[in-house]
Amino acid sequence: MSDRSRRRLAVLNVLVLSLVVTLFGRLWYLQVLAADQFEQAATDNRTREVRTPAVRGIVLDDRGRPLVRNRTAMVVSISRTELLDLGEERARELVARVAEVIDEPFQDVWGRTRLCGTEGAPGTPVCWNGSPFQPIPVTEDADMDMALQIMEHREDFPGVAAELAPIREFPLPEGALATHLLGYVGPVTDADLARQAENATDGTGGRADTPGTLLQGTDAIGKSGLELHYDADLRGTPGVRTVAVDSRNRVEGTVAETSPVPGNYLITHLDAEVQAVAERELQTVIEGARAEGLPAHTGAVVVLDHQTGGVVAMASYPSYDPNVWVGGIDPADYAEITSEENRYPNQSRAFQGEFAPASTFKVVTTTAAVNVGYSLDATYPCTAAYQVGDQSFRNLESRPYGPITLKRALEVSCNTVFYKFGHEMWQRDGGNDPDEDAAEVLVSTARGYGFGTPTGVDLPGEADGLIADRAFKEARWERNKERWCTWAEEGYPDDQGGIDAYLTQLMVENCADGYKVRAGDAVNASIGQGETLVTPLQMAVAYGAIANGGTVWEPRVAKAVMSPAGEVVREIEAPVAGAVPASPETLAYLQDALRSVSTDGTAAGVFAGWPHEQIPVGAKTGSGQVSRDRETTSWFASFTDRYAVVMMVEEGGSGSGTSGPGVRAIYDAIYGVAEDGTVDPQAAILPGGLPPQELPTITPDGMVVAPDSREMAPASREVPPAADVTAGRGP
Amino acid sequence: MSTGYLTDTKGRRRPVASAPARRRAGASPLRQMDWILTAAVLALGGLGGLLVWSATQSNTSLVGENSTAYLERHLLNLGLGLVLGVAASLFNYRLLRAYAPVLYIASVLGLVAVLSPLGSVISGARSWIVLPGGFSIQPSEFAKVALVVGMAMILAEKRDAESTPGGSLVAQALALAAVPLALIMLQPDLGTALVVVFLVLGIVAVSGASARWIVGLLVLGVAVSTFALTSGVLEDYQRDRLTSFIDPNSDPQGSSYNVRQVFIAIGSGGLTGKGLLAGPQTQGSFVPAQHTDFVFSVAGEELGLIGAGGILLLFTLVFWRAYRIAVGAEDLFGRLVAVGVLCWFVFQAFENIGMCLGLMPVTGIPLPFVSYGGSSMFANLIAVGLLQNVHMKRYA
């Protein structure tokens, strides 16, 4: 055979060898060098996690009464895959059949099966925000008959399941709603997952997710209130069953399984009875004010344990029954609680509403005045009006009393005394031509009381209020001067399409020197008017600080986290946010003056017949002006040696007339004060005026046992010494 | 075996049967068989049986009640193929040349039949004739046998050992190849067509034909491939299949899904594999056609580098023996038959394993001896029989 043939055979030989070597090399790479990567890919490929949700922890009040618990309900769900397979028309027929069985309008049920953000889907939280592969619950509150109808006619209900599952329930102990405090749970949203990715560990036991508790699309999590803030505690850890699947997702077996770990219990400072009384009294005073022709749109009340920083009760009006969230909220209910017409019942005025504090703010002005050198022992002129340039500031709440002490000025709420302080402090800062380093003592004192920043309460969405300082005014003027100056030139349009002369004049002033703190601003600020805005919760913290000797709390609704087995996982202590910038003498003076307000001052009527000897109570009224054509905001801030109670009614008239009686009724209930002024410990919600000292206990069989609060506990817990506590204590 | 060696002028040793060996060979030609080749082929076929079994035993939609159904049929195919192979190895050399035209015409008729309504479309190619009783044949597999014999016959015709084929003979041989190649392309069965192209190239090259032919064929091949990929001749799915190996993640649920799943199976096998019948990818049927075209992935996952590398080694053994047989062939016809079979096995194995390893585009061709499939098994074993025939001729 030819040499050429032999040569070519040899070439072929080399070619074959190189091909074989290539294959070997590649095989080596895939199976040895890159094996780990493919091993992981193979695991991901062939296993799926099936999560068994953990039973969520319950929320208890101070005596162990459940505020939020779980109950077993019949959940009817529809498989979205099935709906897609059926096609639009037959899917609608199926949903219509289900809607008929569960006795709900078709449109509502259909809306719940729509993926959020898709065409024709209703808004959150009605639309389905969970995983598209998960059965969508259309009602979590079916009864047994409905379930039977579905189970017995399976052929009519393809992909529809009726199963027992634990769902949230608000038992409303003693009738207490506590809606805004408790919050609600809902399916995880993309935003929740994104937030988790950012992972905030806030150190308060909030949303610090540890591995294994990572959220997935099918989980239900807290969406607001305590349910949100303590979600990581309440949620528990879902059980995870890792199953092997084949290429068609058919389950072949279980690879690994962990049992769900139920969520922990949350013990709160809330007392269901006090909460119920607070809610009822708030409603009563608002209805009373309305009967007198006042608008009294909204209101709030806060009962704060100023010895611990615990929130004993906090209510807002208007409110609603939190059970609307159970089983997925109806579109109509959702519209109702979020409507402007209803004044947004979903928002809490207690910690999300901001209002001008009016005369209740005078304690701040007093403190600031003393701090800049005004004597507590001197007298100050309570004139009919205070003159600043050509402007006259009148003494709205009281008549002229002549020279009076600070105590008397607080008792009678004499504005002009405080006008003078405000004006003169403004002048000390340089007046219209302020010093670079103006002290702004009123501002810093207000901040020291906790105003102007959120209190840090363990509830999401808290408002911060507003203490307008020079920097704030400058920044705002920079932002708005263009608009203001346009209005100043062209006139401010009124409702009728004409020009509002008053507002136009205001715009002329704002345009010219809106960056300045003017003398008038300082005068207004001195009595908590003008720009000043506070939340009722901030007010309760501030009055609590006066009563407890200067400790400004970062209040806490929750008291402890407890395992379902009854072990205390951790106690939640309210952190100290700061100390009131006041000497012990000043605080003692204020306590004394405010007690006089309730015996001899503007709150004396409210506390008529009150056992002042047994239970000293300090108070301050306030009637905040909002605008020319609106009624004043009714404020009543008060404290005993244990509690600070603040009530506010928007456009509710005077502090003593509207809110005062409400606060009095709450004290009556807490201490068991009868109409004749006798104290009946049996009638007291909190005997001896003390909240339960111990946590509720949980027996091995899961029963919650109330702490025995009837037994007299130590008079008070030790308060971190912000200042010497000189206030008189209870009996 | 008492076989001596002679050293030829190039210093290579050539085995030469001793006189007693020749005598014994006369009594039983099978004793002259290349046993290494036979053993390697049997090992591949047996290993293939295990892999086919593993790939199908958990797939009840394939095997029904009988989990060993495919194992049994694979072994039956192997057995029948061995009978055909033995027959091919014992076939009289000269008769083989005489029958070559018959073989060729029969295979062309088969390929035509497949394109007629008799043919069935499986996986996008009209490659099969389904017979009653659950059998089906793939004529293109047998066409390879006919083509090897036919081309060898033309190129070795009327020539002594030292001359080279002239232009007209090469042209005739190429014309002979063009007909089945065109028919295979029409199915379209690109994998088999590529194997045929390389087989033809190998035979033409080793026949000693002028280098211009080889260069010309290569240029033509590149031109046709470029045209096929860039013009609209190929269906979209075919082009996707051919190019998805470049980026297996390009389309996780489409064409590249297969490649991705095969990668995962092979890669996760590691050094020692997951154990036979214990590969989650295989048992979960993540890899499509894992008992036929992608059978190598089963070896990769369940037997690891040891098993998959073992299969490569066995193929290397087969290639080496085929090469030795080509080198030691008595005449040019025998050498060209051996080279044709060698090129066929080499390229088919390379293409099949290469596509499992992401080196080659995905084309639907089986792994010789290992993949499940009767036609392929029969044709491959007949080809092995031809190699043995060439090998034993020396002792005839």
pLDDT in tens, B250-296: 544 455 677 778 888 898 888 999 899 888 888 877 787 888 899 99
Look at B2 and A270; give whichever has higher pLDDT.
A270
Per-residue pLDDT, B249: 54
Residue A566 burial (10 A CB sphere; 0-12, 13-18, 19+): middle
Q: Is the pLDDT at B5 greater than 80, yes or no?
A: no
Residue of B nearest to A42 (CA): B264
Residue A719's pLDDT is 40
Helices marked H in A556-643? 584-600
B35-54: per-residue pLDDT in tens? 999 999 999 999 999 999 99
| Beta-bridge partner residues of B137 | B129
A-facing residues of B in 174-213 (CB < 8 A) are 202, 205-208
Given an 8 Å threshold on Cβ–Cβ distance, is B266 in contact with A31?
yes
Q: Which of residues 278-317 of B touch A (CB under 8 A)?
A: 280-281, 283-286, 300, 304-305, 308-309, 312, 315-316
**What integer pLDDT is reported at residue A197 of this predicted model?**
66
Q: Determine, for residues B357 and A26 on separate chains, whether the beta-carbon distance falls below 8 Å.
A: yes
Best to test chain A binding among B10, B199, B206, B214 (most A CBs inside 10 Å):
B206
Q: What are phi and psi of A524, to 5 degrees?
A: -60, -45
Under an 8 A CB cutoff, do A16 and B304 touch? no
Q: 3-class SS at B30?
A: helix
Please report where in the chains the tokens 């050992």 appear, as a residue.
B161
Give the pLDDT confidence score for residue A256 in this predicted structure: 77
**How, if at all, do strands A265-268 and A59-60 pair?**
parallel
Output the pTM of the full model: 0.66
Q: Which residues 6+ apart lie within 8 Å of B7 measured at CB?
A: B13, B14
Q: What is the pLDDT of residue A715?
A: 32
Q: Where are the beta strands (DSSP E) in chain B?
A: 3-7, 13-17, 119-122, 125-131, 135-137
Cβ neighbours of A249 in B, within 8 Å:
none
Sheet of strand B119-122, all strands in order from the earlier edge strand to the far edge = B119-122, B125-131, B135-137
The radius of gyration of chain B's CA atoms, rounded to the nearest angstrom, is 21
Q: Which amino acid is at A561?
A: V
| Contact at CB, B267 and A38, closer than 8 angstroms | yes
Give, in order, the Cα–Cα distances in Å from B231 to each of A244, B125, B234.
44, 19, 7
φ, ψ (nearest 5 deg) of residue A537: -65, -40
Tokens found for residue A66: 């459940």
State the smallest CA–CA distance between residue A567 and chain B in angstroms: 44
d(CA A100, CA A102): 6
Chain B residues lying within 8 Å of A30, measured CB to CB: 263, 266-267, 300, 357
**Does A6 sit within 8 Å of B268, measured CB to CB?**
no
Say how far apart CA B82 and CA B33 lie, in whole Å. 13
DSSP A647: E
**In this complex, is the C-beta atom of B169 within 8 Å of any C-beta atom belonging to chain A?**
no
Res A206: pLDDT: 37
* Closest CA relative to residue A60, chosen from A731, A573, A562: A562
For B171-187, the pLDDT digits (tens) are: 999 999 999 998 988 88
Q: What 3-state DSSP class applies to B80?
A: helix
CB neighbour class for A278 (10 Å; exposed up to 12, middle 13-18, buried from 19): buried
Q: Inter-chain contact A35–B267, Cβ cutoff 8 Å?
A: yes
* pLDDT at residue B256, as a whole number: 65
Tell me which residue of B209, B129, B203, B136 sits closest to B167, measured CA to CA: B209
Distance CA A398, CA A401 (A): 8
Report which DSSP code applies to B291: T
Average pLDDT over residues B234-260: 63
> Does the beta carbon of A46 lie under 8 angstroms from any beta carbon of chain B?
yes
Closest chain B C-alpha to A575 CA, distance in angstroms? 53
| Residues on chain B touching A19 (C-beta within 8 angstroms) | 346, 350
Which DSSP string corresponds to A160-227? EEEEEEEEEE---GGG---HHHH--EEE--HHHHHHHHH----SSSSS-PPTT----TT-EEE-SHHH
> What's the average model confidence in pLDDT over B219-234?
76
**B158 pLDDT tier (thresholds 50, 70, 90):** low
Q: What is the per-residue pLDDT for A43?
A: 76
Residue A193 to residue A207: CA distance in whole angstroms: 12
* C-beta separation of B144 from B198 below 8 A: no
Provide block-wise average pLDDT over 10 residues at a time, chain A (731 residues).
85 94 93 84 73 85 92 81 80 91 89 81 75 73 82 82 82 94 84 66 38 60 92 86 69 76 93 96 96 94 97 96 84 89 93 94 96 94 90 80 93 93 92 84 95 96 92 89 88 79 85 86 91 95 96 97 92 95 96 95 94 95 85 95 96 93 96 90 88 87 71 37 36 34
- A493 phi/psi in degrees, rounded to 5: -70, 135
Q: What tokens does A119 get?
A: 């065409």
**Cβ of A33 under 8 Å from any chain B Cβ?**
no
Enumerate residues 179 to 238 of chain A having a beta carbon within 8 A of any beta carbon in chain B: none
Torsion angle (degrees, nearest 10) of CA A255, A260, A261, A266: 150
Identify the residue with better confidence: B64 or A573: A573
| ipTM for the assembly | 0.90
Q: How far is residue B205's CA from residue B328's CA, in Å, rounded to a whole number?
A: 17
